[in-house]
C-alpha cells in the first residue's frame, strides 16, 4: 500500500485527475450553495456563479501546467512545434480568449449590463473565456422588451465589433420615434400639444429623470441633452410630414408613451384635417 500511494502521488496523470475532480466537485458545491434552490437568480448570484466557474477553470489550467511542467520542459522544441500547430488549428479559440482578455482589461461590461455588439443586443447573463451569453432584447419598436431567446456570441467578436454598453439606459432612455403625416394635413399646432401632453404624462417621474440625467452626465463626463421632450417636424423623400419625438423616460414606459402620443397625434390631425376639408 505505501508503494502504491507513492506511485499514485508521483504520477502526473493521477495528480491531474485528482486536481480536476476536487476542483469540479468544489465548483458544483459552491454553485449549489449560491443558488440555494432558487428558480430565479439575482444579478449578484449570477455574478458569483460566473466568477466561481471562471476561477475554477483558471485554477485547473494553471494547476495542470504546474503538474506537467517538468515533462513539458524536457520537450521544449517539440512543444514549440506542437504549439505552432495548435495556434494554427485553434485560431478561433485564441481569438475568443483574446476577446475575453480585452473585455476583462477594459471593463466593458459585467453581469446584468445591457450591451450591443454588432447586430446583437441584450442583457449579459453569463460569460467565460470563450463566449458571452445574452438575454436578447427585441428590435424596434419593442427595443426594451426581452424576446425570450438567449444568444451565445464568441468573444472573438469583441475584436472586430464595437461594444456598446447600454446600461445607463436600462432604467431611463432617450426614446426617439417618428409619426408620418400626409402633407396636406395641418400639423402646426401638434408640437405644442405633444409637449404639453408629455408634461402631464411625465409628472410622476420627471424629477427622478432629471436626477438620473445629471448622474449620467457626471459618470460619462459628457454634456448630454436634458430630459425635456423635443419635437421636430421634417419631411421625408415622399414629401410627407414627419413628426419626430424624443422623450427621456423610464425604459419600461417608452413603448406605452409612444403608443399614447402616436394615437393622440393621429386622432388630432384627423380631426383638424376633417374640419379643414
The CA distance from 160 to 212, in Å, is 32
Angle of CA points 217, 255, 186, to nearest 5°: 100
Instruction: Give the list of residues 6+ apart from residue 173 with CB closer than 8 angstroms, or none.
Output: 144, 248, 249, 250, 251, 254
The answer on pLDDT for 275 being more than 50 is no
The chain-wide mean pLDDT, for the chain, equals 82
Contact present, 241 and 233 (Cβ < 8 Å): yes
Kindly report, residue by residue over 124-139, the tens digit of the pLDDT: 999 988 899 999 888 6
The answer on pLDDT for 75 being more than 50 is yes
Please give the grid coordinates belonging to residue 179. Answer: 409619426
The answer on pLDDT for 276 being more than 50 is no
The answer on pLDDT for 219 being more than 80 is no
The answer on pLDDT for 74 being more than 70 is no
Counting Cα atoms < 13 Å in the Cβ hemisphere of 273 gives 14
Pick the closest to residue 132 from 106, 104, 105 (CA basis): 104
Amino acid at each position: 500500500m505505501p508503494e502504491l500511494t507513492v506511485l499514485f502521488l508521483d504520477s502526473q496523470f493521477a495528480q491531474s485527475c485528482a486536481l480536476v475532480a476536487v476542483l469540479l466537485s468544489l465548483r458544483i458545491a459552491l454553485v449549489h450553495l449560491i443558488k440555494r434552490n432558487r428558480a430565479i437568480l439575482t444579478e449578484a448570484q449570477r455574478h458569483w456563479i460566473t466568477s466561481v466557474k471562471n476561477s475554477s477553470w483558471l485554477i485547473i489550467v494553471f494547476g495542470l501546467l504546474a503538474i506537467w511542467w517538468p515533462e513539458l520542459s524536457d520537450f521544449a522544441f517539440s512543444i514549440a512545434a506542437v504549439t505552432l500547430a495548435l495556434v494554427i488549428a485553434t485560431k478561433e479559440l485564441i481569438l475568443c480568449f483574446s476577446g475575453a482578455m480585452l473585455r476583462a482589461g477594459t471593463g466593458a461590461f459585467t453581469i446584468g449590463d445591457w450591451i450591443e455588439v454588432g447586430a446583437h443586443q441584450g442583457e449579459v447573463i453569463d460569460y467565460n473565456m470563450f463566449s458571452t451569453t445574452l438575454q436578447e432584447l427585441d428590435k424596434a419598436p419593442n427595443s426594451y422588451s426581452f424576446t425570450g431567446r438567449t444568444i451565445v456570441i464568441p468573444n472573438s467578436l469583441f475584436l472586430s465589433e464595437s461594444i456598446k454598453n447600454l446600461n445607463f439606459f436600462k432604467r431611463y432612455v432617450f426614446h426617439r420615434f417618428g409619426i408620418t403625416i400626409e402633407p396636406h394635413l395641418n400639423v402646426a399646432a401638434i408640437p405644442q400639444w405633444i409637449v404639453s401632453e408629455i408634461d402631464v404624462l411625465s409628472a410622476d417621474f420627471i424629477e427622478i429623470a432629471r436626477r438620473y440625467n445629471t448622474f449620467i452626465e457626471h459618470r460619462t463626463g459628457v454634456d448630454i441633452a436634458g430630459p425635456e421632450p423635443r419635437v421636430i417636424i421634417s419631411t421625408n423623400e415622399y414629401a410627407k410630414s414627419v413628426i419626430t419625438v424624443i422623450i427621456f423616460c423610464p425604459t419600461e414606459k417608452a413603448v406605452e408613451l409612444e403608443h399614447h402620443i402616436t394615437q393622440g397625434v393621429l386622432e388630432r390631425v384627423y380631426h383638424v384635417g376633417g374640419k379643414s376639408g
